[in-house]
């Protein structure tokens, strides 16, 4: 009597308490268990019927199935959030609300309609085979044609004759015990074992043979063994970077007297092949150099001919053309019988005027006057050189003025040399025409000034019968100084 429904003795456990959530969970589990037993028992009692049933019962069956599904649902596990948020009194704690009893099972009939299966011919395999679909073609990658460099062709080496006994070193009567040779079953060449260390990949020279460590690739071992041609002197170089390693596979041992005759023949053939290859390569390189030199020579000759043709297209007259009257022989200075050696002239193929070379210094852009000619330095623009040469028109007296502001400057173009007797007749004619042009310009200026004075007097209303001497004094002074005038050459 003292025990409650929950299994708690009130005498022995007066202070015992049970969580409300635990009670709800246990009660829900028990109800769910009972409901599962009821459902299982109900399914066992449902009989199976044949396929031939009336179609009118289909609607009723659907209604009954809906009711059964509602009965089978365990909606007592779902709790409303609103009910959970409400407060619970202390008197109601530990009580569980009674659930509705499960509904009485309703019998229902199931109608199973037979499925129509299509007859399949076991020998017909056309339907089972999957059609092959063509794969989309990949876009072809654009290939760029890179011009390949010409590969140096190595000529074929002639077949070497067999060596004679005189070409090979002689075998010794005995060899030391600290070296021997080994050869595997599938290997072609011998391995040298020196003091227990294995070497292979021999490099054959004319006087010595260099053996490399057999483990140089795996351990990057720099150890080398230099051996004389007759295998009497051994010189190890560099230490091994590894310890003693076991050999893989079985190998056959050979004494020096067994292996050295073959090694001597291999060394002789390798050296002969190297010499023949070196000779053939030198021959090929010489032929290539000849072809390159001939090609460069032909290109240089073609360039030279092109330059000559370009020069011929632009003929330059020996003397510039001056319209109007030409000077007589009496009006030009006379040539001297001889001129000093420090004076000569130069002219390029495309230039019109001469350059004066005075003591190795080049001058051009002559300023021609009635009695003197001024030659300016040819580098006056680049170096702002003020050097000039003051020369008489007959080229008998020279006076250099100012020093050069630069050193010796070599000529950067092709020029032709002319002696004073070859160039001075042309320069005399150029000088006469330039002076004549300046005198004509001076007379024109004089007339313009007279006209200007007359216009001013006419504007003032006083027109004199003769020109005023004071106003024309400047013009007369300019006329008196006409002998010392000069002009620039083009």
Tens digits of residue pLDDT in 314-364: 555 555 677 778 888 889 999 999 999 999 999 887 788 899 999 999 999
For the domain spanning 315-457, the CATH number is 2.20.25.240
Biggest CA–CA distance in the chain, Å, is 174
- The span from the CA of 471 to the CA of 458, in Å, is 15
pLDDT of residue 325: 84
pLDDT tens-digit map of 211-225: 999 888 888 999 999
- 364 and 355 in contact (C-beta within 8 Å)? yes
Burial class (CB in 10 A: 0-12, 13-18, 19+), 343: middle
Mean pLDDT of 431-449: 90
Q: Residue 482 carries which DSSP code?
A: G
Those residues with Cβ within 8 angstroms of residue 150's Cβ, 6 or more apart along the chain or in another chain = none
Helix (H, G, I), strand (E, B) or coil at 343: strand
Continuous segment of H or E residues that includes residue 35:
helix 20-45
Quote the mean pLDDT of the chain. Answer: 76
Q: Which of 227, 163, 161 is nearest to 200 (CA)?
A: 227
Domain coordinates in residue numbering, the chain: 175-276, 315-457
Mean pLDDT of 150-160: 56
Q: How far is CA 155 from CA 161, 268, 405, in A?
A: 18, 21, 63
Helix (H, G, I), strand (E, B) or coil at 485: coil
Continuous segment of H or E residues that includes residue 390:
strand 388-392
- The span from the CA of 213 to the CA of 5, in Å, is 94
pLDDT tens-digit map of 248-281: 778 888 998 999 988 999 889 988 888 888 898 9
- The span from the CA of 298 to the CA of 304, in Å, is 10
Q: Which residue has the higher pLDDT, 413 or 99?
A: 413
- The span from the CA of 471 to the CA of 446, in Å, is 12
- The span from the CA of 185 to the CA of 322, in Å, is 103
- The span from the CA of 271 to the CA of 206, in Å, is 7
Q: Which of 318, 330, 299 is nearest to 427 (CA)?
A: 318
- Give the distance, in angstroms, between the CA of residue 244 and the centroid of all CA atoms in the same chain: 48
Percent of the chain, pLDDT > 70? 66
How many residues are listed for the chain in this entry? 490
Residue 390 has pLDDT above 90, yes or no: yes
Q: 473-480 and 420-460 helices cross at what angle (nearest 10)? A: 170
Mean pLDDT of 372-387: 93
pLDDT of residue 119: 53
- Angle made by CA atoms 480, 329, 366, in degrees to the nearest 5: 60
Those residues with Cβ within 8 angstroms of residue 362's Cβ, 6 or more apart along the chain or in another chain = 346, 355, 356, 377, 378, 379, 409, 411
Residue 244 has pLDDT above 50, yes or no: yes
Q: Which residue has the higher pLDDT, 346 or 38?
A: 346
Q: Which residue has the higher pLDDT, 96 or 210?
A: 210
For 193-213, the DSSP string reads EETTEEEEEEEE-SSEEEEEE
Q: What are phi and psi of 179, to 5 degrees?
A: -145, 145
- The span from the CA of 282 to the CA of 290, in Å, is 12
Mean pLDDT of 392-397: 93
Confidence of residue 5 (pLDDT cuts 50, 70, 90): low
- The span from the CA of 248 to the CA of 144, in Å, is 48
Confidence of residue 48 (pLDDT cuts 50, 70, 90): low
Q: What are phi and psi of 197, to 5 degrees?
A: -100, 135
pLDDT of residue 455: 83
- The span from the CA of 442 to the CA of 448, in Å, is 10
CATH architecture group of domain 175-276: Single Sheet (2.20)
Helix (H, G, I), strand (E, B) or coil at 41: helix
Q: Residue 238 carries which DSSP code?
A: S
pLDDT of residue 288: 92
Continuous segment of H or E residues that includes residue 262:
helix 256-313
pLDDT of residue 342: 92
Residue 81 has pLDDT above 50, yes or no: no
Confidence of residue 52 (pLDDT cuts 50, 70, 90): very low
**Which of 6-15, 25-34, 382-391 shows the highest mean pLDDT?**
382-391
- Angle made by CA atoms 415, 417, 422, in degrees to the nearest 5: 135
Are 175-276 and 315-457 in the same CATH fold? Answer: yes
Mean pLDDT of 356-382: 92
Residue 456 has pLDDT above 80, yes or no: yes
Residue 90 has pLDDT above 70, yes or no: no
pLDDT of residue 78: 46
Mean pLDDT of 4-31: 73
pLDDT tens-digit map of 288-323: 999 999 999 999 999 988 887 776 655 555 556 777
pLDDT of residue 86: 44
């Amino acid at each position: 009597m003292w025990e409650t429904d929950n299994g708690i003795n009130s005498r022995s456990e007066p202070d015992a308490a049970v969580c409300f959530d635990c009670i709800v969970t246990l009660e829900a589990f028990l109800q769910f268990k009972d409901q599962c037993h009821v459902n299982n028992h109900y399914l066992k009692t449902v009989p199976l019927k044949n396929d031939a049933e009336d179609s009118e019962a289909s609607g009723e069956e659907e209604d009954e199935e809906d009711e059964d599904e509602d009965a089978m649902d365990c909606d007592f596990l779902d709790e409303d959030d609103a009910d959970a948020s409400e407060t619970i009194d202390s008197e109601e704690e530990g009580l569980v609300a009674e659930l509705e009893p499960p509904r009485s099972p309703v019998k229902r009939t199931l109608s199973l309609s037979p499925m129509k299966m299509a007859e399949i011919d076991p020998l017909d395999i056309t339907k089972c085979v999957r059609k092959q679909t063509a794969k989309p073609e990949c876009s072809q990658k654009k290939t760029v044609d890179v011009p390949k460099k010409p590969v140096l062709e190595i000529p074929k080496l002639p077949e070497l004759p067999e060596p004679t006994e005189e070409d090979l070193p002689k075998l010794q009567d005995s060899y030391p015990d600290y070296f021997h040779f080994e050869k595997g079953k599938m290997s072609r060449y011998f391995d040298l074992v020196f003091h227990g260390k294995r070497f292979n990949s021999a490099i054959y020279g004319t006087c010595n043979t260099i053996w490399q460590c057999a483990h140089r690739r795996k351990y990057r071992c720099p150890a080398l063994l230099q051996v004389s041609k007759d295998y009497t002197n051994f010189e190890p170089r560099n230490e091994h970077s590894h310890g003693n390693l076991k050999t893989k596979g079985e190998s056959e041992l050979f004494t020096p007297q067994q292996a050295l005759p073959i090694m001597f023949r291999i060394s002789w053939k390798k050296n002969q092949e190297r010499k023949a290859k070196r000779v053939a390569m030198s021959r090929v390189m010489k032929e290539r150099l000849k072809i390159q030199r001939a090609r460069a020579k032909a290109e240089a000759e073609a360039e030279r001919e092109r330059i000559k043709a370009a020069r011929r297209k632009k003929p330059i007259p020996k003397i510039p053309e001056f319209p109007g009257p030409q000077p007589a022989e009496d009006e030009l200075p006379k040539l001297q019988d001889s001129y000093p050696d420090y004076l000569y002239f130069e002219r390029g193929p495309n230039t019109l005027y001469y350059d004066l070379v005075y003591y190795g210094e080049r001058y051009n852009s002559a300023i021609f006057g009635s009695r003197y000619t001024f030659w300016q330095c040819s580098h006056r623009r680049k170096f702002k050189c003020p050097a000039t040469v003051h020369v008489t028109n007959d080229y008998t007296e020279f006076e250099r003025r100012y020093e050069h502001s630069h050193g010796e400057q070599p000529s950067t173009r092709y020029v032709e040399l002319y002696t004073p007797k070859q160039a001075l007749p042309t320069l005399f004619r150029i000088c006469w025409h330039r002076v004549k042009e300046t005198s004509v310009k001076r007379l024109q200026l004089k007339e313009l000034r007279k006209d200007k004075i007359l216009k001013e007097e006419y504007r003032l209303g006083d027109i004199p019968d003769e020109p005023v001497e004071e106003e024309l004094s400047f013009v007369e002074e300019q006329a008196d100084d006409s002998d010392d005038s000069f002009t620039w050459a083009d």
